[in-house]
């Protein structure tokens, strides 16, 4: 096998963002994936790049990632819409958080809207909101297209791809697979859900589990405006940037009273518009070996609440699926260097699409990672930030969990 400068294990968005940046640095890159094409977490999600809702502490990383998406979109032609996110405020606690957040971040990041403006943006004149906000810096990509298109573009540029090739061991510049061994100066492993099998000690040390999320794609009715993303009150309670506002406790209390079923489902009720329809989700459940079944009650709950907000009376469901991502209760990012030639990276919360290019930049350019084996980046300190566990402390908050 020919030797390359860099081997990347995993063709999800994290591996491909790393391959894109490394290729731009002029490095010879090989990507190895056990699948025939990207089919992991990176195609199962909302395609929502929520830079704004991330915690203050990682805004620099989030904006690096935003610039990376823009650069990749310009170079490869990937669809990446800079239309932001709309957040209707249906209650006083939701309005309060948005007002606090807008005052904290400024109007470049959060612009308050009149009730009728947010209703028009969502396409439902009967919305009944009392106000709202627009987060203009957020982006949307098509999750079904972004990773596959990036992989195709990289292959056209000369990046080597070995599909259908399962990596069994990575150490000291060597990658063992079921189809032979590969060698490179540096290996970056981004195996997503494959972390537990490939690096069990790292997975165990970080209490890694699988998060399952109920999702659906519905047809977008013609009367709805195209090109929007929508957060709801549950999103404001979940993302660290909003949840750090003083009104977060009151919002949680209100949601518990008003929407106990959504709270029980650990919901982040949100919608993104992609060319094939409206993506609606999601709930969260955590297990080491989750069962594959979609809970119809939860699916219908999410569908009902989202379509009510959008004024859709008879939604036409095109697809349902149970998405999966790697989760840890201890940290939102695993970034370790088990030996001087190997980096292991796994996003262990629901923000990998948002932060992929920022994390890839750190993987390739952060000299702090060279300073010792198993060095976890201090930017990604421990966090227990989930809706269910309540507001994390300032020290804990580093990345929003979706």
Of 30-38, 85-93, 120-128, 386-394, the window that binds ligand FAD (rule: CB under 6 A) is 30-38
Q: Match 């709801």 to its residue by tokens.
A: 232
Q: Which stretch binds ligand FAD (CB under 6 A): 28-36, 53-61, 330-338, 381-389?
A: 28-36
The reply to whether 215 sits near ligand FAD by the rule CB under 6 A is: yes
Closest separation between CB of residue 357 and ligand FAD, Å?
A: 11
Side-chain-side CA neighbours of residue 227 (13 Å): 8
**86 or 325: whose CB is closer to ligand FAD?**
325
Output 164 or 393, the one with its CB closest to ligand FAD: 164
Most distant pair of Cα atoms in the chain: their distance:
63
Residue 140 as a binder of ligand FAD (CB under 6 A): the answer is no
Dist CA 120 CA 171 (whole Å): 55
Instruction: Please give the residues from 309 up to 348 whose contact with ligand FAD meets the rule CB under 6 A.
Output: 323-325, 346-347
Q: For residue 132, what are the β-bridge partners?
A: 88, 113
Give the nearer residue to ligand FAD in terms of CB position, either 114 or 169.
169
Residues 225-284 that bind ligand FAD (CB under 6 A): 281-282
Dihedral-angle region of residue 383 (phi above 0 means left; psi in -120 to 50 means alpha; beta otherwise): beta
Q: Which distant-in-sequence residues (6+ apart) come within 8 Å of 393 by Cβ?
A: none
CB of 132 to ligand FAD, least distance (A): 20
State the binding string over 102-131 for ligand FAD (x if CB under 6 A, else -).
------------------------------
What string of H, E and C letters represents the secondary structure of 2-15? CCEEEEEECCCHHH
Among 29, 30, 31, 41, binds ligand FAD (CB under 6 A): 41
Q: Is 176 in the site for ligand FAD (CB under 6 A)?
A: no
Q: Which residues are paired to 211 by β-bridges?
A: 286, 325
Tell me which of 44, 52, 331, 343 binds ligand FAD, using CB under 6 A: 44
Binding residue for ligand FAD, selected from 12, 68, 131, 241, defined by CB under 6 A: 12
350 binds ligand FAD (CB under 6 A): yes
Residue pair 190/22 in contact by the 8 Å Cβ criterion: no
Closest CA to 164 of 180, 152, 149, 150: 180
Interaction site with ligand FAD (CB under 6 A): 9-15, 32-35, 38, 40-42, 44-46, 48, 50, 166-167, 190-194, 198, 213, 215, 281-282, 323-325, 346-347, 350-354, 402
């Amino acid at each position: 096998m020919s030797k390359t400068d860099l081997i990347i294990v995993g063709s999800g968005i994290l591996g491909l963002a790393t391959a894109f940046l490394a290729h731009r640095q002029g490095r010879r890159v090989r990507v190895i994936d056990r699948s025939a094409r990207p089919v992991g977490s990176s195609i199962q999600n909302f395609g929502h790049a929520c830079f704004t809702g991330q915690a203050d502490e990682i805004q620099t990383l989030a904006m690096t990632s935003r610039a990376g998406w823009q650069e990749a979109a310009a170079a490869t032609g990937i669809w990446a819409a800079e239309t932001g996110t709309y957040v209707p405020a249906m209650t006083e606690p939701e309005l309060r958080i948005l007002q606090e957040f807008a005052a904290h971040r400024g109007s470049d990041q959060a612009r308050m809207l009149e009730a009728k403006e947010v209703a028009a943006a969502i396409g439902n004149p009967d919305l009944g909101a009392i106000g709202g906000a627009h987060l203009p810096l957020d982006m949307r990509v098509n999750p079904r297209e972004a990773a596959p298109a990036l992989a195709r573009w990289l292959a056209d540029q000369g990046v080597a791809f070995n599909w259908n090739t399962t990596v069994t061991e990575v150490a000291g510049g060597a990658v063992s697979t079921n189809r032979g061994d590969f060698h490179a100066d540096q290996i970056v492993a981004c195996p997503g859900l494959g972390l537990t099998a490939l690096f069990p000690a790292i997975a165990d040390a970080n209490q890694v589990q699988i998060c399952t999320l109920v999702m659906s794609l519905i047809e977008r009715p013609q009367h709805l405006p195209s090109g929007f993303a929508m957060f709801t009150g549950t999103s404001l309670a979940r993302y660290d940037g909003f949840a750090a506002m003083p009104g977060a406790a009151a919002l949680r209390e209100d949601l518990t009273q008003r929407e106990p079923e959504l709270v029980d489902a650990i919901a982040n009720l949100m919608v993104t518009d992609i060319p094939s329809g409206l993506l609606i989700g999601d709930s969260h459940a955590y297990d080491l070996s989750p069962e594959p079944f979609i809970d119809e009650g939860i699916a219908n709950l999410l569908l009902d609440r989202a379509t009510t907000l959008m004024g859709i009376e008879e939604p036409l469901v095109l697809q349902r699926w149970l998405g999966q991502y790697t989760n840890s209760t201890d940290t939102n990012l695993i970034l370790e260097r088990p030996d001087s030639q190997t980096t292991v990276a796994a996003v262990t919360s629901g923000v990998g699409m948002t932060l992929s290019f920022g994390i890839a930049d750190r993987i390739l350019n952060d000299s702090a990672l060279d300073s010792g084996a198993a060095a976890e980046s201090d930017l990604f300190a421990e966090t227990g930030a989930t809706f269910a566990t309540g507001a994390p402390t300032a020290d804990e908050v580093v990345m929003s969990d979706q």
